[in-house]
A and B are shown apart, each in its own frame.
Chain A
Amino acid sequence: MREPVIQVRGMTKDYSNGPQVIPILKGIDLDVYPGDMVAIMGPSGMGKSTFLFILGLLLPPSGGSYMVKGQEVAKLTRSQQAQFRRTFAGFVFQSCNLFEHTKVFENLEFPLIYAGVPRKDRAAMIDEALAKVNMMHRRNHPANRLSGGEQQRVSIARALVNRPSIIFADEPTGQLDLKHSRMVMEHFQRFVSEDKTAMVVVTHDPGVAEQCTRTLYLRDGNLYEQ
């Protein structure tokens, strides 16, 4: 029997606005298995990104259970959360979040530095990740001189470089044209199927959702299967 990488039960998230408590997530259940590409869609302001950030341990949930590979992670300390992120997770965000004043390979080196990968092993891992997104020819290029599509491919390579179990992507194609958008999603499909990685992607784009294995809708604080 397949074990889920992510298992969420009754997850809630509330925001306080003065005395008023606004529920964003109202008891969500979700299982994500290795090789799954789960798209989360829904209207703006419904908490899709909030849910993704909770899954990535960038935000704490208000209640419920959240298990990664069978381990409860909802109530970890800040340090343990950081350890979870560098061990299991890779992130891709909407706007190209490459570091200024750095070269492409330096961008990819940071997750490895924080994960404590010895320096001698880093070059091979960086080259492998860059090769997966066809960006080896830009290895020593300043990051801010790349085109939008190239920058997003480097972000993907950075999310993959430490071989995470789960990739979290927040509108990864939001600023790309159709051609580059398809290319990026094809890269994701290949990694997920080859490496048996799980992926959760938040998107507004039905075209992106079509390329995923499952699509979920978040509305009024609940998740609905398509």
Chain B
Amino acid sequence: MLQLNDLIRISLRQVVRQHKRYLGVLLAIALGTGLMIVIMTMGDEVKSNLNKDLDLLGGATIIKVFFEDGGADRMDRPESFRDGSVETVNALPGVNATTLVHMAGGYATFDKHDTDFIMFGVDEHYWKVNGLHQKAGELFGKEAMDKRLRVVVLGEELAMRIFGRLDVVGEWISVNRVLYLVVGLLDAGSVSERGKWGYTPLTTMMDFWPNVEPRRMYVRCNTWDDVGPVSEQVITAIRARQKADHLRVEVAWEALKHIKRIVWWVELFIYFSISATLLLGGFGIWNGMMTAVKSRTREIGLKKAMGAEDIDIMKQFIAEAVALSFFAGVLGVGLGYGGVELATWLLKSQAPQDLLYLYSLMSIIFTVLLGLGAGFFPALRASRMEVVSAIRYE
């Protein structure tokens, strides 16, 4: 009876010495395994990064949380977000960023000419939450909020209306008779409405506009999968911190459904491609082992003549298939590590190490099972060969 250590030694030797025959199969399985590791390890990170491009996603992962006008007693002070509510929402699992917004009408005066427009009071997170970038100048940040600076970012259309040109960064304009410095020009992206608006720090707006209270909050989720759970939890979380009888949540369910459907197809395509690669690799092992069984018919006959039992022959061919797929798995894990490193560099993120180890281990187990499955039938066929016909095989 063939001992385990002899079995492993013989099989490894056979695969190493005949590596050229199996090279294509080995690479196919390694590639499939490597891609699987990268996608499974970095999947959430990729989703999150895709999510950042909100113009592409139509803002579907942004939840709008706002206080409705009115209520039981209109004489009450209107409800608005209080200190700590933003932090509470930010702490919810699946929340990427949160911003407070107040919208008010105003008029800008430049060169003795008045222009009516809508001004948004926003905090420094507004740009990140909405995935916005500047076309010129800069988008104000925390310092402007903290120091309540009189600065403004203008949409392109608004700049044209006020100035009749776009090179406006550094200009001063009067808004509601208060001078503001134009620090940036906003790239409106696919939402052309944004080009008509102006943006100033929320704290500044509170100083110079009447009755400014943050009554609108935008919450961006990490991925579209987080939108449902976050939208369910957000009201409860805020109500635990403050009075919020008229709080409402608005989610772009239709857009979200559309995106989920697209992503589902993309994921299906990717997993199908990887599965096809791995199945082809498995078929390659099966085919390679069938060819090996045929070309080594005399060897099988001779080994049986020497006293090898059917089970010994079967074990040997299965072990060769498993050794082959194991090598492919190890190579695939190497490729996967490389792929994950590349992905983290491209996405400027950290790879979840625990997931990487888990999926690497799972990949090795999977490829070993693939080898077992693919090698079984050829091995069975080899084991059932009649000795004399095998010895006489030309």
Interface residues of A (CB under 8 A from B): 53, 56, 58-59, 78-79, 82-83, 85-87, 89, 91, 93, 97, 99-101, 106, 110-111, 113-116, 119, 158
Contacts and interface: CB of A to CB of B under 8 A. Distances in A.
A226 to B, nearest CB: 27
Interface in B309-337: 309-310, 312
B18 interface: yes
Contacts of A158: 306
A87 B302 CA distance: 15
A2 to B, nearest CB: 27
Nearest to B302: A97
Q: Looking at chain A's contact residues, is the secondary structure mostly helix, strand, loop, or mixed?
A: helix
Contacts of A79: 309-310
A58 B388 contact: yes
Given A58-B387, A58-B388, A101-B14, A115 B307 contact: yes
Contact of A97 (B5, B10, B308, B391): B391
Nearest to B304: A82
Contact of B312 (A85, A87, A93, A114): A114
Nearest to A79: B309
Contact of A82 (B3, B18, B296, B307): B307
A85 B388 contact: no
Given A58-B391, A97-B391, A85 B303 contact: no
B385 to A, nearest CB: 12
B308 A82 contact: yes
Contact of B307 (A53, A59, A83): A83
A110 B309 contact: no
A114 B305 contact: no
A82 B309 contact: yes
B240 interface: no
27 contacts: A56-B305, A58-B304, A58-B387, A58-B388, A58-B391, A59-B387, A78-B309, A78-B310, A79-B309, A79-B310, A82-B308, A83-B307, A85-B305, A86-B306, A97-B298, A97-B391, A99-B299, A101-B17, A101-B18, A110-B306, A110-B308, A111-B306, A114-B2, A114-B308, A114-B312, A116-B3, A158-B306
Contact of B306 (A101, A114, A116, A119): A114
